[in-house]
Amino acid sequence: MSFDLSARLAARRAEHLYRQRPLLQSPQGPEVVVDGQPLLAFCNNDYMGLANHPDVIAAWKAGAERWGVGGGASHLVIGHSTPHHELEEALADLTGRPRALLFSNGYMANLGAVTALVGQGDTVLEDRLNHASLLDAGLLSGARFSRYLHNDPDSLSSRLEKAVGDTLVVTDGVFSMDGDIADLPALAKVAKAKKAWLMVDDAHGFGPLGANGAGIVEHFGMSLEDVPVLIGTLGKSFGTAGAFVAGSEELIETLIQFARPYIYTTSQPPGLACATLKSLELLRTEHWRREHLNALIKQFRDGAQAIGLELMDSFTPIQPIVIGDSGRALRLSQMLRERGLMVTAIRPPTVPAGSARLRVTLSAAHSEAQVRLLLEALEQCYPLLETSESVETYHA
């Protein structure tokens, strides 16, 4: 046999990098049941608390009654239905862009946008901490691919000097594992000076950032000229599923012609677009969600600093606690779990080697009392990490 899978799996275990899927036996939310255990969770991306909102559920049900369940065909054949179209118009309105194009998920939106815009003879430059889907998209495009130092306009600038052909600069808006945000004004300036296009994937910025939840471009007031290609995903703050690209009329028409992950897939269920239209309305208009979330973020950061935890430079709902070693990160996650709390340990290759962390995420659905419980548990568990015995028994 040439495929020695058992050796690969054993090596993965030995490095504390083995992945397991916790089984969620309840709807998404702060209070969940996982593998038979009731837990208070701080690890989903449902930042606005909309994934299990009764109005969103009702909109999905009504959408299924009205439009049926399956999309039935690709958008270019006969799968582009009225709710998809209305959602695109609402997303264009939210982002202040002429048009938006709905994709089945963020991974496909990123593959579609990058591969439609650049190819052989062109250049794609990416932040080294970009989401895996962006890095995969860059590699798949066939363009010259290079990564610049994290959020560093000088590093980008020096790579732009050597760029050939059409050049696309790609960055996360909010970095998904660190929670810091891209320095878009500086990156846009450098890109524009070299006639490169800036593409921003703001999967984690829509919802929490901007006065109306329109994300990092609203936060910084970045125009279409600054950020010609804007990506958002709908599975995080919108609480549903799917993704979109927002930009000019010409950009969207180009994607409809050339983005293979758009063309060669069935449209998402139309009722799902009805659900997203409802969650978009809640995300935009219920400002208390952003205000409450910001209060929780401050509460968590203040409390964590008082305990002496090492946080990252983040004012977003992503508040990682840096541990370093993968085994120790797993051990802390396990200790919290024994106290009824769920915070996932994030390990390489999702994050750089030696930077394993507990990725705490906060949601508008959390209460102050729940954040206090998390802080109390961390205060108890974190010091034990220093003295705890071998992590071997805890590896997954």
Ligand X SMILES: *Cc1c(COP(=O)(O)O)cnc(C)c1O
Which sequence positions are flagged as catalytic?
176, 204, 236
Q: Is 359 in the site for ligand X (CB under 6 A)?
A: no
- Helices 270-285 and 54-67 cross at an angle (nearest 10°) of 150
Q: Is 204 annotated as a binding residue?
A: yes
Out of 81, 133, 167, 268, point to the residue binding ligand X (CB under 6 A): 133
Identity of the residue, 133 or 326, whose beta carbon is nearer to ligand X in the bound complex: 133
Shortest CB 373 distance to ligand X, Å: 27
Q: Please, which contacts does 307-315 make with residues 24 or more away whose CB atoms are closer than 8 Å?
A: 307/375, 307/378, 307/379, 307/382, 308/382, 309/378, 309/382, 312/178, 312/179, 312/180, 313/178, 313/180, 314/178, 314/179, 314/180, 315/179, 315/181
Q: Is 107 annotated as a binding residue?
A: yes
Q: Is 105 in the site for ligand X (CB under 6 A)?
A: yes
Instruction: Give the SS3 label for residue 91.
Output: helix
- Measured CA to CA, the distance from residue 42 to residue 242 in angstroms comes to 23
Residue of minimal Cβ distance to ligand X: 106
Sign of CA dihedral 248, 251, 255, 256: positive
Identity of the residue, 188 or 203, whose beta carbon is nearer to ligand X in the bound complex: 203
Q: Is 22 in the site for ligand X (CB under 6 A)?
A: no
Q: Is 156 in the site for ligand X (CB under 6 A)?
A: no
Q: Which stretch binds ligand X (CB under 6 A): 68-76, 102-110, 190-198, 313-321?
A: 102-110
Backbone angles phi, psi at 320, to 5 degrees: -70, 145
For tokens 């993965």, name the residue: 12
Instruction: Give the SS3 label for residue 113.
Output: helix
- Measured CA to CA, the distance from residue 330 to residue 394 in angstroms comes to 7
Q: Is 178 in the site for ligand X (CB under 6 A)?
A: no
Identity of the residue, 203 or 230, whose beta carbon is nearer to ligand X in the bound complex: 203
Strand partners, 125: 146, 169
CA-closest candidate to residue 172, choices 117, 118, 236, 119? 236
Q: Is 144 annotated as a binding residue?
A: no
Residues 225-264, interacting with ligand X (CB under 6 A): 233, 235, 243
Q: Is 316 annotated as a binding residue?
A: no
Q: Is 19 annotated as a binding residue?
A: yes
Out of 43, 156, 190, 203, point to the residue binding ligand X (CB under 6 A): 203
Q: Is 350 annotated as a binding residue?
A: yes
Q: Which stretch binds ligand X (CB under 6 A): 199-207, 284-292, 342-350, 357-365?
A: 199-207
Contact between residue 233 and residue 105 where contact means Cβ atoms under 8 Å apart: yes
Q: Is 80 annotated as a binding residue?
A: no
Identity of the residue, 110 or 123, whose beta carbon is nearer to ligand X in the bound complex: 110
Identity of the residue, 16 or 219, whose beta carbon is nearer to ligand X in the bound complex: 219
Q: Which stretch binds ligand X (CB under 6 A): 1-9, 69-77, 99-107, 257-265?
A: 99-107
Q: Which residues are within 8 A (CB) of 130 and not within 5 positions of it... i.e. 6 or more apart?
A: 147, 170, 171, 172, 201
Q: Is 16 annotated as a binding residue?
A: no
Shortest CB 203 distance to ligand X, Å: 3
Identity of the residue, 103 or 145, whose beta carbon is nearer to ligand X in the bound complex: 103
The arrangement of strands across the sheet holding 31-34 comes to: 31-34, 37-41, 341-342
Amino acid type, 290: R
Instruction: Give the SS3 label for residue 392.
Output: helix
Identity of the residue, 102 or 329, whose beta carbon is nearer to ligand X in the bound complex: 102
Out of 172, 178, 180, 226, point to the residue binding ligand X (CB under 6 A): 172
For tokens 């593959």, name the residue: 111
Out of 201, 226, 277, 297, point to the residue binding ligand X (CB under 6 A): 201
Give the pair of three-digit tokens for residue 106: 């963020």
From the annotation, which residues make up the binding site?
Answer: 19, 106-107, 131, 176, 204, 233, 350
From the annotation, which residues make up the binding site for substrate?
Answer: 19, 131, 350
Q: What residues line the site for ligand X (CB under 6 A)?
A: 105-107, 110, 131, 133, 172, 176, 201, 203-204, 233, 235, 243
From the annotation, which residues make up the binding site for pyridoxal 5'-phosphate?
Answer: 106-107, 176, 204, 233
